[in-house]
Amino acid sequence: MKPKTIKENFRIGMRSIVEHPQLISTIAIAAVIFGLFLFTADRFARIALDAQERLVNVRIGSIQDAFVAFVPERIDSDIEAVHRAVNSVVSQNETILDFRVLRTRGTRGWEVVSSVDLSEIGTTRLSASEEFLIGLAVSDPFNSFTREGSLGGDRVFQTARAFRDARGTVQGVVMTTQTLSEADRQINQNINNSFAILLTILLLLFLLFFRHARIVDYTALYKKLKEVDTLKDDFISMISHELRTPLASIRGYAELLSEGGELSDTAREQARRIMVSSAQLDRLVEDMLDVSRIERGQLKLSLKVADPVPIIADVVETLMPSAQKKNLLLILGRGESAPIFIDESRLRQVLVNLIGNAIKYTVEGEVKVTTHLESGKLFIRVSDTGIGLSSGEREQIFQKFVRIQNKNTSRVRGTGLGLWISAALVRLMKGTISVESIRNVGSHFVLSFPVVEQKASHEGESKQETKEK
Ligand code: ADP
């Protein structure tokens, strides 16, 4: 199959939305998650930048505080000590790009008296923004003033703080230039990572959304299939019920015909064939009705504690003519017996199916039915020397309508419903059914039922009586 293009997938997605308006809620949730994430990432970035700025200002503020206390005493007597202090601060703070001490020269402006850049010492050149910042610092000598600027694309902060002589007159200004490029780079990196995560989440959300759309499709399909299935069950059940009455009258009239004395041999044989065929049809209708009852959970059992051996003996006797017709030995082996909790007519149905199958699928040899007790269970074993089954076939035969098709089975008639119904009936009677088989050697179908303790058996019967009332 050709893979679908993005455009085709998008079109399918849009069609799903139109067909299933409930998907809109999924999209709304996805949009809210996306929006929330965006909002949180943005807030996080702002908080990080603010915190970074505050930290820098506090640090620079304290460095300048220290300088303001230190410089006035030494600016005239020991300028070398000032140079050393400036160099020491810059070498210990790699984010400080520039550190200058400026002294007022009255009307001649401000002269750099100490700086990391020695070539600046003695100069009086200042930019307009620096002059403005110094003006602010002079107007309020108790505080540091900061201005944000940019240098080569990076954010920089310039901070100025005035210092005064012993008489309180402003003597000069300490000015630092600080870069935040490293911190900014890290924050930007975090923001980029957040966006990459956001995109991944968004992609996952879209995948989830398309899966959801598909599940919604499947749910609708499943509902439709369920409806069709129910319609089919209703139809089968209705047809089966409708077939029952005409079938019964066909059988009845054929019986009357064959019993009438004035029939020729040919006509009597024809009447017999009508009876046989309608009996087959009757069984098929009963099977269809059983399937429909089991599937709807409407099959009612009439459970009671009973000894299964007489039932087994009766079924063996009933099926003896079909075995004899094929020259097969049908044996009821001597075995153990115990009371079990069963629906007698349903157990009979299961046994007719298993022993009937054993006769149907055995060409020569024997069919044997035995019983034995083990670990509190009664086992009923139907064994034959028939065509047998492969391991793959053994796994399939309990499914509805499954018939093994090969040259040995092509002439045998059946519907593939018998074992499915038998398995369901056995389950409803709290028993188990299993098969052991070897191809061309034979098969053993084994039923097991929990043995009912004698005392419990009365309880079982009384329970059943209460149910039937
Ligand atoms: P049906 O006999 O009507 O086809 P069943 O459900 O009773 O349907 O059996 C399903 C299939 O299992 C049969 O078609 C047959 O291929 C296989 N099978 C059942 N019993 C035996 C057996 N005793 N030996 C070999 N194959 C069997």
| Structure confidence at residue 385 (pLDDT) | 97
**How far apart (Å, rounded) are the C-alpha atoms in residues 268 and 262?**
10
Asked if 409 contacts 395 with a C-beta cutoff of 8 angstroms, the reply is no
Rounded (5°) CA angle 132-137-141: 160
| Structure confidence at residue 469 (pLDDT) | 28
Cβ of 404 closer than 6 Å to ligand 1, yes or no, is yes
- The residue whose CB lies within 8 Å of the most ligand 1 atoms, and thus the one to mutate among 319, 364, 397, 436, is 397
**How far apart (Å, rounded) are the C-alpha atoms in residues 27 and 194?**
22
pLDDT top residue among 63 and 138: 138
pLDDT bracket for residue 257 (50, 70, 90) = confident
Tokens of 429: 């009677």
CA of 452 to the centre of ligand 1 (A): 31
Tokens of 57: 């200002």
Which residue, by CA, sits nearest to atom 11 of ligand 1? 403
- The residue whose CB lies within 8 Å of the most ligand 1 atoms, and thus the one to mutate among 354, 361, 395, is 361
Tell me the per-residue pLDDT of 182-236, one tens digit each, with 9 for 90 and over: 777 887 888 788 878 878 887 887 788 778 778 888 888 999 999 998 888 888 8
| Structure confidence at residue 63 (pLDDT) | 84
Tell me the per-residue pLDDT of 135-181, one tens digit each, with 9 for 90 and over: 999 999 888 898 888 877 788 889 999 999 888 899 999 999 988 77
**How far apart (Å, rounded) are the C-alpha atoms in residues 299 and 292?**
9
Distances from the Cα of 9 to the Cα of 1, 2, 24, 204, 323, angstroms: 14, 13, 17, 15, 64
**How far apart (Å, rounded) are the C-alpha atoms in residues 105 and 108?**
5
Among 197-211, 262-276, 341-355, 435-449, the minimum mean pLDDT is found in 197-211
Cβ of 357 closer than 6 Å to ligand 1, yes or no, is yes
CA of 281 to the centre of ligand 1 (A): 18
pLDDT over 80 at 274, yes or no = yes
CA of 289 to the centre of ligand 1 (A): 20
In the predicted model, what is the mean pLDDT of residues 389-405? 93
Which residue, by CA, sits nearest to atom 13 of ligand 1? 403
Cβ of 355 closer than 6 Å to ligand 1, yes or no, is no
Q: Which of 50-54, 101-105, 420-424 has the highest mean pLDDT?
A: 420-424
Tokens of 47: 């908080």
Q: Which of 103-117, 128-142, 232-246, 314-328 has the highest mean pLDDT?
A: 314-328
Q: Which atom of ligand 1 is nearest to the CA of 384?
A: 23
Mean pLDDT score across all residues of the chain: 87
| Structure confidence at residue 423 (pLDDT) | 97
Q: What percent of the chain lies above the pLDDT cut of 70?
A: 94
Asked if 17 contacts 23 with a C-beta cutoff of 8 angstroms, the reply is yes
CA of 419 to the centre of ligand 1 (A): 7
| Structure confidence at residue 439 (pLDDT) | 94
Cβ of 414 closer than 6 Å to ligand 1, yes or no, is yes
| Structure confidence at residue 405 (pLDDT) | 87
Amino acid at 278: S
Q: Which of 28-32, 234-238, 439-443 has the highest mean pLDDT?
A: 439-443
**How far apart (Å, rounded) are the C-alpha atoms in residues 59 and 64?**
9
pLDDT bracket for residue 460 (50, 70, 90) = very low
| Structure confidence at residue 455 (pLDDT) | 60
In the predicted model, what is the mean pLDDT of residues 397-413? 89
| Structure confidence at residue 20 (pLDDT) | 66
Tell me the per-residue pLDDT of 449-459, one tens digit each, with 9 for 90 and over: 999 986 644 44
Distances from the Cα of 464 to the Cα of 57, 250, 305, angstroms: 90, 37, 9
pLDDT over 60 at 25, yes or no = yes
| Structure confidence at residue 3 (pLDDT) | 67
**How far apart (Å, rounded) are the C-alpha atoms in residues 234 and 323?**
37
Cβ of 443 closer than 6 Å to ligand 1, yes or no, is yes
Cβ of 137 closer than 6 Å to ligand 1, yes or no, is no
SS3 string, the chain, reads CCCCCHHHHHHHHHHHHHHCCCHHHHHHHHHHHHHHHHHHHHHHHHHHHHHHHHHHHHHHHHHHHHHHHHHHHHCCCCHHHHHHHHHHHHHHCCCEEEEEEEEECHHHCEEEEEECCHHHCCCCCCCHHHHHHHHHHHHCCCCEEEEEEEECCEEEEEEEEEEECCCCCEEEEEEEEEECHHHHHHHHHHHHHHHHHHHHHHHHHHHHHHHHHHHHHHHHHHHHHHHHHHHHHHHHHHHHHHHHHHHHHHHHHHHHHHHCCCCCHHHHHHHHHHHHHHHHHHHHHHHHHHHHHHHHCCCCCCCEEECCHHHHHHHHHHHHHHHHHCCCEEEECCCCCCCEEECHHHHHHHHHHHHHHHHHCCCCCEEEEEEEEECCEEEEEEEECCCCCCHHHHHHCCCCCCCCCCCCCCCCCCCCCHHHHHHHHHHHCCCEEEEEEECCCEEEEEEEEEECCHHHHHHHHHHHHHHHC
Q: What percent of the chain lies above the pLDDT cut of 90?
A: 41
| Structure confidence at residue 427 (pLDDT) | 97
pLDDT top residue among 95 and 306: 306
Cβ of 397 closer than 6 Å to ligand 1, yes or no, is yes
CB-facing half-sphere around the CA of 174: CA atoms within 13 A: 26
| Structure confidence at residue 240 (pLDDT) | 85
Among 12-16, 310-314, 316-320, the minimum mean pLDDT is found in 12-16
| Structure confidence at residue 27 (pLDDT) | 75
Q: Which of 2-16, 113-127, 256-270 has the highest mean pLDDT?
A: 113-127
Which residue, by CA, sits nearest to atom 25 of ligand 1? 388
